[in-house]
Structures are given as structure tokens and as C-alpha cells.
Amino acid sequence: MSRRVLLTNFHPRGGGGHVTYIQALLRLGRGGDFRIAVAAPEASEIYKRLRDLDYADLYECDFPAKPQKEPVDIIRSIRRFRTIVADFKPDIVHANGGADLAIALWSRPFRKYRVIRTHHGIKSLGSDFYHRYVYSRSVAKNIYVSSAAMAAAHKDGLTPRNCIVIPNGVDLDNYRPDPAKRGLSRSRLGLSEDTLVFGSCAGVGSYKRVDLMIAADTRIDRSRPFAILVIGEEDDGLRLQRVAEQSGSVRFRYCGFFRDVREFVSAIDVGFVLSDATETVSFAAREMMAMGKPLMVSSYAGLIENIIDGQNGILTRPGNVNDVIAGMERFLNMSPQELTRFSDSARSYAEQNFDIESQVKSHRAVYNDVLDLS
């Protein structure tokens, strides 16, 4: 008999790495040991994707986060979640944020299901009575996606019980170097073959610090042509485009939102993720590495775990534009042979460290442990 797991996602729209994470865990439903359902807001990206696939066990549910400002919405969500629980009858509810965790706990009569939480952001837990009670008595397992991210989250706050690190994985068959697509992708983006392209599919929120690339562009004087391309949510992307125009950055371009990022990543030569807050490890960084793209990454939290500095990428200090300039110039000075070595090393490192099957296997073990099936 299949055990039932209900995955929740609080994001009212978009969802970033949460979408990729939930899609990875849906693989647990393929072997028959687990039946996986998803509850998410109707406007969220994960809900839209699964609805388009006619996913059977998909439920619409909002997860408001502010009891003082949204009491009516919270009561409505608790009622809705209890309806979902009555229909799906989960053995485990696996929450992916504080808002959906709260609704799952407030909706749980007589502890009918076990609760797991994955921590996707660098946010310390409060040491107040509520958090101490929840994480000592109610949450059966706390999953962190990188060792560095867990250490950062525990540094100034509560350390919950039953913690485990399960690194995020990448579908290495889906994300792989595709030289045949490179020329076509660059042609569609209007890029010449000799242009070195720095690019990111990691999002364009303010904490991603894409602005550092824009600032660096205005201070690099190079005869070799290069471009800086990003994709992500439209509002932030257009904001960055305006910042670039106002600062005189002529090489920066916001390219829109891509549901499937592979064509975009095929067009770039070097990826970048320069976050200085919130970020844990970045699925996007690992997807770019798997496609053979060396990275410039900040040393913030788990980002440092994505590369070997000087071998398949370059580390920068968070928020340091001089480090970004130095990293860009390092890549601009590389011979084609050295850049190829970096690219080959990126793919090799991904194969050795980012396999999605390892991530799925570890989650299966956690579910079995929580349900005493191991």
C-alpha cells in the first residue's frame, strides 16, 4: 500500500527553486511506494505547471502568512486545508516554508499526519515559545539543502531537533551540454559567435545582486565583445533594465521569463549567481553547471558548495563589485582552451555531486524513517 505525502508550497506566484524542488520530489511517486499530492495557490507556478499536465493529486490552497493582518484568510485556508486532508488522507505533510507549515499544523486534528519541513532560505528561527514548541514537538524532521545554509540559519537563532542536510540535485540527462543548440540560441538572441556571454537563469530579485554585473559593465573597458543577459520575473527584470540604461551599461539585457531555461543557458558562456541574502544553494547554479557553464558565485551560504574556485568557477565576496570585475576580466582573458577546461570541469563536478537520484533517494529514506518503515 502506497504511503501518502502532501507537498505544500506557499508562494502566491512564481516560486523559484521551490518549483524545481517539488518537481524533483514528484519522482517519489513513480515507484509505487509513495503517492504524492501538491497543495499550492492557484496563481503559483507549480500549480500552473501541474495543472497543465493534468496532475491527478493537485489541490488549490492559499497559505497566508500574517495572522494579525489576514485572520479571515487564515481561517479560510485552515478550512480549505482540512478539506484537502480529508480527501487525500496524507501520512506526511511536507511543508516548504513557515506559512504553509503553520496552516498544516493548525489544521492537524489529533496528529493524524506527520509533518516535515524543508528550509529553503537563510532565516533564523525565533527562540520564542511558539517556535520552540513547534520545532521540539510538532515537526518530525527538518531538511536543509546545504551544510553551509544550515550553519548560517542556526547561527543566531533556534536550532531545531532532527535536522538533516539533503543537497539539491539536478536531472543530469535533462540539463547537459548541447553544442548543437548553442548557435541557434545565440542567433535568436542576436549574439555574434565571438561575444563572451555572461548569463544567469537564477532570477532577478534584489538579493540576487544582478546590479553588481551592471555596475561592473560600466567599469570594464574591453576590446573583446561581451554581453550580460538575465531572465526572470518581468517586474524585477524591467527594473534592472532601467537601472542599466540610467547607469550607461550597454551590454546588459533582460531577456524575459523562460519556463524552460535550457535554450537560454545554451547561449551563454559563463553563468553567475551573486546573491548576498536569502539564497541557500541555488538550483539554477547547479543547472548551469550541469550544462557545462562555469560560474561566478558569491561566497554567501551554500553558493560556495557549487564550484571549485579556479577550476570550474570563481568565487566573489558578497556585494563586492571589485571581485565581480576581477572575475569577469579573468574570464574575458581566458583562451578558448582554458574556457573549455573550465566548462568540462563544471559538467564533471555536476555529475559527481548534483545527481537528482541521490536527492530523491535521501528523501525516500527520510519519509520511511518518519513513518518507521526503514
What local confidence, expressed as pLDDT, does residue 373 receive? Answer: 61
- Give pLDDT tens digits for 298-320: 999 999 999 999 999 999 999 99
What local confidence, expressed as pLDDT, does residue 330 receive? Answer: 96
Provide the grid cell at 102.
503553520
Pick the closest to residue 7 from 132, 134, 121, 143 (CA basis).
Answer: 143
Helix axis angle for 45-52 and 17-25, nearest 10°, is 40
Judged against a pLDDT cut of 90, whether residue 282 lies above it is answered with yes
Sheet architecture: strand order including 196-200: 252-254, 226-230, 196-200, 270-273, 295-298, 313-316
Total Cβ atoms within 10 A of residue 55: 16
What local confidence, expressed as pLDDT, does residue 374 receive? Answer: 47
Pick the closest to residue 162 from 127, 214, 103, 114 (CA basis).
Answer: 114
Q: Is there a shared CATH topology between the 3-169+355-370 domain and the 179-353 domain?
A: yes
What local confidence, expressed as pLDDT, does residue 217 receive? Answer: 96
3-169+355-370: which CATH number, 3.40.50.2000, 1.10.1760.20, 3.40.50.2300, 3.90.1150.10? 3.40.50.2000
Judged against a pLDDT cut of 70, whether residue 110 lies above it is answered with no
Judged against a pLDDT cut of 90, whether residue 48 lies above it is answered with yes
Domain covering 179-353, topology:
Rossmann fold (3.40.50)
Q: DSSP string covering 158-211, please?
A: B--SSEEE----B-TTTS---HHHHHHHHHHTT--TT-EEEEE-S---GGG-TH
Total Cβ atoms within 10 A of residue 327: 23
- Give pLDDT tens digits for 175-219: 999 988 888 889 988 999 899 999 999 999 999 999 999 999 999
- Give pLDDT tens digits for 6-17: 999 999 887 778
Find the mean pLDDT for residues 55-64: 97
Per-residue three-class SS string for 220-286: CCCCCCEEEEECCCHHHHHHHHHHHHHHCCCCEEECCCCCCCHHHHHHCCEEEECCCCCCCCCHHHH
Q: Which helix or strand (DSSP H or E) is residue 337 part of?
A: helix 336-353
Residue position matching grid coordinates 524542488: 21
Q: Estimate the share of the chain in helix, then strand, then coil, as percent rounded to the nearest 5.
A: 45, 15, 35
Please tell me the distance from the alpha carbon of residue 246 to that of residue 22, in angstroms, as a whole number: 39
Domain parsing of the chain, residue ranges: 3-169+355-370, 179-353
| 3 state DSSP class of 93 | strand
Judged against a pLDDT cut of 60, whether residue 63 lies above it is answered with yes
- Give pLDDT tens digits for 124-158: 888 899 899 999 889 999 999 999 889 988 988 89
Judged against a pLDDT cut of 80, whether residue 223 lies above it is answered with no
The contacts of residue 224 (CB under 8 Å, 6+ apart) are: 194, 196, 332
According to DSSP, the residues that pair with 230 across neighbouring strands are 200, 254
Please tell me the distance from the alpha carbon of residue 366 to that of residue 361, in angstroms, as a whole number: 9
